[in-house]
Amino acid sequence: MPQHVLVPLDGSDHGFAGLEYSLESFPDASITALSVIDPTHDHTATVGSSESPLERAEAQRDAVLERAADRGDDHGREIRTLGRTGRPHTEILTVVTDENIDHVVLGSHGESPITSPFLGHVSEAVLRRAPVSTTIVPESTAALRERDIPGEILVPVDGSEQAEAALEYVLETFPGGSYTGFHVLELPFDRSPEAVEGTYLEGVRTDYEDRADEILASATARADERGVSIETATASGTPAEEIIDYAVANEYSQIVMGSHGRSLPARLITGSVAERVARRSPRTVTLVRGNPTTD
């Protein structure tokens, strides 16, 4: 369960949706709101203004942080505010280390010409490099408030340690939620059950289905140990696409999944499936960092 949550804010509604999610999801955690002035950005002062561009940017940053503190007051929470100057994703990652942050919540905005939503460049940089669990909130504040938090939670499981860590995170962090363990059969062929019946491919499919049953039974057993129930479901196809499609079609509030990381100098890279889900999902996605492996 997160103890110290960092919420970077840029003044946008999406950023404040991340703050709203944090206030609702982590009632016992300390929350730090961070706003960063990017010196490479063209901070243009109003014509005739006595303020310099930097002074104007600092005033805007202070206003964002004051608004964050007010949102905390509305929830009966004290929010620590922190202003920095530098490249936003670099400052965010530095604060994660310096302030012993164990969870980052980012509002994401920006659209892809192919599919929406699409991570903004700062959110994507942090997602790929943060050494701690990260939540991406792609929805507006208004849309987020229409959902129950934690609500219905989809937990993709594949039998890995990272997926098990994500399930433990969900059960511990959201005791009032409703959970579904979801496994995608990524079969080595694209044929219906009827088409492979009576062929050697039927045995291959059966092996995958048996493995899915074992994985979902393990998830059910973990939930039983905590005295809670969990639904289970399967689908066949490309994991990232099936996870997103299932979450949207069944109106899940959020997706929580393990992140398969490979350690590299000063950063972690998420696994391809987790990253694709976080990049493309119109629902809030949390990537729970498991133990990275080295190649």
What is the pLDDT of the chain when averaged over all its residues? 85
User: What's the rounded mean pLDDT across residues 96-118?
Assistant: 73
In this structure, the answer to whether residues 154 and 140 fall within a common structural domain is no
Task: Give the model's pLDDT for residue 61.
Answer: 93
The C-alpha atoms of residue 99 and residue 27 are separated, in whole angstroms, by 19
Three-class secondary structure of residue 217 per DSSP? helix
In this structure, the answer to whether residues 58 and 189 fall within a common structural domain is no
Structure token pair of residue 152: 């219905």
CATH no. for residue 272? 3.40.50.620
The C-alpha atoms of residue 19 and residue 145 are separated, in whole angstroms, by 12
In this structure, the answer to whether residues 88 and 206 fall within a common structural domain is no
In this structure, the answer to whether residues 211 and 126 fall within a common structural domain is no
Task: Give the model's pLDDT for residue 264.
Answer: 37
In this structure, the answer to whether residues 116 and 194 fall within a common structural domain is no
26-50 pLDDT, tens per residue? Answer: 999 999 999 999 877 655 555 555 6
In this structure, the answer to whether residues 202 and 292 fall within a common structural domain is yes
Name the least confident of 148-152, 180-184, 202-206, 283-287.
202-206
Structure token pair of residue 242: 């099936």
Name the least confident of 187-191, 194-198, 281-285.
194-198
Single out the residue in 146, 162, 194 at which a domain terminates: 146
- Amino acid residing at 58: E
| Segments forming the whole domain that contains residue 239 | 150-295
The C-alpha atoms of residue 159 and residue 163 are separated, in whole angstroms, by 7
119-144 pLDDT, tens per residue? Answer: 567 888 888 888 999 999 999 999 88
Name the least confident of 5-9, 76-80, 259-263.
259-263
Task: Give the model's pLDDT for residue 54.
Answer: 81
In this structure, the answer to whether residues 117 and 58 fall within a common structural domain is yes
210-227 pLDDT, tens per residue? Answer: 999 999 999 999 999 999
In this structure, the answer to whether residues 161 and 295 fall within a common structural domain is yes
Peptide bond into 117 cis (omega under 30): yes
Q: Find the radius of gyration of the CA atoms of the chain.
A: 21
How many separate domains does the chain show? 2
- Amino acid residing at 240: A
In this structure, the answer to whether residues 141 and 156 fall within a common structural domain is no
In this structure, the answer to whether residues 113 and 170 fall within a common structural domain is no
What is the CA 182 to chain-centroid distance, rounded?
17
Task: Give the model's pLDDT for residue 147.
Answer: 84
153-177 pLDDT, tens per residue? Answer: 999 999 999 999 999 999 999 998 8
Task: Give the model's pLDDT for residue 293.
Answer: 40
Single out the residue in 130, 146, 162 at which a domain terminates: 146
In this structure, the answer to whether residues 93 and 197 fall within a common structural domain is no
User: Which residue has 């939930």 as its token pair?
Assistant: 223
Indicate yes or no: pTM above 0.75.
Answer: yes
In this structure, the answer to whether residues 185 and 251 fall within a common structural domain is yes
Single out the residue in 146, 163, 189 at which a domain terminates: 146
